[in-house]
Structure 1
Amino acid sequence: MTTTPLALLKAQLNLEHDLDDALLTHKLAVAEEWVVNHTGKPFAEPVPASLTEATLQLAAYWYVSREAATDVRLTAVPFGVLELIAPYRESVTGHVAA
């Protein structure tokens, strides 16, 4: 179960059909897991908008780029995601970065 609504991801992707709902739900779950792993903090209510945006960008990127990257210009995460989560990342001492 994800915190980020499936409907929000479908709006991000301009999708109006239900054909890929299972795949989209999976992409959301993986994107949320990635954000949690890179911030060191689990999603809780309410989730900051920037973390939701990072999740949406990741899930949408991974949905559109489903094949293994063969072009050196492709990256594992879209531009800006690391900047969106930066304020929430725990430093080496366990404190949230400023």
Structure 2
Amino acid sequence: MARRYAAKVDDNQSTIVDALRRAGASVTPTHAAGEGFPDLAVGFRGQTYLIEVKDGAKPPSARKLTPDQQIWHATWRGQKAVASTVAEALAVIGVQFKGEVS
């Protein structure tokens, strides 16, 4: 059985959620679902996207997927993505990042 980790929210998650919503997406935070499930469920133009948020300000070793996340990502047969920045998250839904993050 995989270990249960506390549901932590990366420091940049609210900024990414904000940017996705400003782009017209609906966003439901799902970080508390557990068992490696991604942090965000994003709806945009009739599609659903699952995004794991990692903090790009942290060193690479701190941005690695947890063991539960690794298993989930390896076994999930649908769309999934990992994003560390607003630009990466917007790219997942097919929107080009333009400008500053406020």
Same fold (TM over 0.5): no
Q: Which of the two has greater helix per residue?
A: 1
User: Which structure has the larger Rg?
Assistant: 1
Between Structure 1 and Structure 2, which shows a larger proportion of strand residues? 2
Q: TM-score, normalised by structure 1?
A: 0.31
Q: TM-score, normalised by structure 2?
A: 0.31
